[in-house]
Amino acid sequence: MSIKIGIIGCGGIANQKHLPALRNQAHRAELVAFCDLIPARAEKAAAEYGAPDAKTYTDYHDLLADPAIEVVHMLTPNVSHCEISVAALEAGKHVMCEKPMAATVEDAKRMMDAYQRSGKLFTIGYQNRYRPDSQTLKRLCGDGELGEIYYAQAHALRRRGVPTWGVFTDKSKQGGGPLIDIGTHSLDLTLWFMDNYESAAVTGVTFEKLGKTLPAHQQGNGMGPWDPDTFEVEDAAFGFVTMKDGSLITIDASWVLNSTEERCAASTLCGTIAGAELTGVGGKNNGKLYLNKIMGNRQVEIDVNTAAGGVDLFPGQKASVGDVEAQVWLDAIEGKGEPVVKPEQAFVVTKILDAVYQSAKTGRQVVFQ
């Protein structure tokens, strides 16, 4: 019997990741409802991806009222994640919420409370965990190849990569800029590799130097010119995170930075036995994984070979990270395992990101109890 899924939010991330991936799971999942504030978006998604009798809505409450829907994918702007996810959990639905978990730690707490009351599954869309290089590094960390990881860097840097569609530069809908958009992926990966979610204190700085000032002819943006007059978020953010065991994580996140380095969803790990460099997505060294260690009393750098172009799901087949994310999620719903991204982990990511913003705003360190 097919799992019946409702989609709330039919914009970019729905069409780029979730809908194609769920269509590839059509043997066990059926998209029966689509909701968007713009009716044409919901209708288009239903026509392309939906079941023959799929319904469309502009009010998510109407979708949630359908008892046949078992699962909801929540794919709206950041500030609405809390309200809709809580309502979906309270309606008895399993929830896949697109990253980040929430725009503020207060909203994330409300989501955690609703999840714990619901008895339903809840996960966040951190698909970079399913990359072959990420999976390899996670295994190496779990096997103790790096020893104790006491210093790490979470990288999310673009020289000119401001997203010029959707609401990315609208603070009222997103809650922030590159830190909450792409920095969230890098921090999620770094915490996951370290398997350390006990944060003690955060210091943060944000900058609004380029996004609000550069005219179109000076931007050189790979995604087309942005409007400085509607650029309401930071263009760069940096965080300094001390963990309760004394280890340290630094975060760098920018859509527009005059730097020669470009990499997103990347991580540098320094351990007592060895170090690792996950170069992430973008830049000159895309998708690489390096280990550095001492062998025979010499410094050695190892280029770790990882699968290219996808993850093997079945013999002779490849899949995108979105495909793997969807498969793992549906497996969990069918009782064949657990979600890889735990809400408790995603909560810590939001807690730290929120603290970076709060520290930058007040000029003070945020200390957790």
DSSP structure class, residue 364: S
pLDDT at res. 23: 97
User: What pLDDT band is residue 188 in, cutting at 50, 70 and 90?
Assistant: very high
pLDDT at res. 311: 44
Rounded Cα distance, 192 and 190, in Å:
5
First to last CA, the chain: 47
Domain boundary, last residue among 73, 99, 125? 125
Residues 6+ apart with CB under 8 A from 112: 343, 344, 347
pLDDT at res. 261: 86
In degrees, rounded to 5, the angle at the alpha carbon of residue 352 between the alpha carbons of residues 93 and 289 is: 90
Cross-strand bridge partners of residue 204:
239
Considering the domain architecture, whether residues 214 and 277 belong to the same structural domain is answered as yes
Read off the pLDDT of each residue in 42-47 and give the average, rounded to a whole number: 98
Does 266 have pLDDT greater than 70?
A: yes
Tell me the two tokens of residue 118. Answer: 């619901």
Rounded Cα distance, 16 and 30, in Å:
18
Pairing of strands 71-74, 94-97: parallel
Tell me the two tokens of residue 57. Answer: 């809505």
pLDDT at res. 284: 81
Considering the domain architecture, whether residues 156 and 270 belong to the same structural domain is answered as yes
Helix ranges restricted to H, the chain: 12-13, 19-23, 39-49, 60-64, 81-90, 105-118, 132-142, 171-174, 178, 184-194, 321-333, 343-362
Residue 226 sits in which domain range? 129-317+349-367
Residue with tokens 């909801």: 72
pLDDT at res. 328: 97
Considering the domain architecture, whether residues 354 and 312 belong to the same structural domain is answered as yes
**Residue 325 forms part of a structural domain:** no
pLDDT tens, position by position, 304-324 = 965 444 444 434 446 799 999
Closest by CA position to 305, among listed 126, 156, 140: 140
User: What pLDDT band is residue 285 in, cutting at 50, 70 and 90?
Assistant: confident
pLDDT at res. 168: 96
pLDDT at res. 247: 98
**Residue 331 forms part of a structural domain:** no
Closest by CA position to 351, among listed 192, 241, 206, 264: 241
Considering the domain architecture, whether residues 109 and 146 belong to the same structural domain is answered as no
Considering the domain architecture, whether residues 120 and 151 belong to the same structural domain is answered as no
Question: Are 250 and 187 in contact, with CB atoms under 8 Å apart?
Answer: no
pLDDT at res. 318: 63
Q: Which one-letter amino acid corresponds to residue 233?
A: V
**Residue 326 forms part of a structural domain:** no
Instruction: Please state, as a whole number, how many other Cβ atoms lie within 10 Å of the Cβ of residue 106.
Output: 11
Residues 6+ apart with CB under 8 A from 271: 146, 147, 148, 149, 150
Considering the domain architecture, whether residues 101 and 170 belong to the same structural domain is answered as no
Q: Decide: helix, strand or coil at residue 85.
A: helix
Considering the domain architecture, whether residues 356 and 230 belong to the same structural domain is answered as yes
**Residue 18 forms part of a structural domain:** yes
pLDDT winner (highest mean) among 94-98, 130-134, 299-303: 94-98
Considering the domain architecture, whether residues 55 and 81 belong to the same structural domain is answered as yes
Does 282 have pLDDT greater than 90?
A: no
Read off the pLDDT of each residue in 334-343 and give the average, rounded to a whole number: 97
More confident position, 309 or 14: 14
**Residue 114 forms part of a structural domain:** yes
Average pLDDT, the chain: 95
* DSSP-based helix, strand, coil % in the chain, nearest 5: 35, 25, 40
- Number of domains forming the structure of the chain: 2
Considering the domain architecture, whether residues 147 and 47 belong to the same structural domain is answered as no
Q: What is the CATH number of the domain that holds 57?
A: 3.40.50.720
In degrees, rounded to 5, the angle at the alpha carbon of residue 111 between the alpha carbons of residues 365 and 168 is: 70
Rounded Cα distance, 233 and 208, in Å:
7
Read off the pLDDT of each residue in 257-278 and give the average, rounded to a whole number: 96
Question: Are 265 and 182 in contact, with CB atoms under 8 Å apart?
Answer: yes
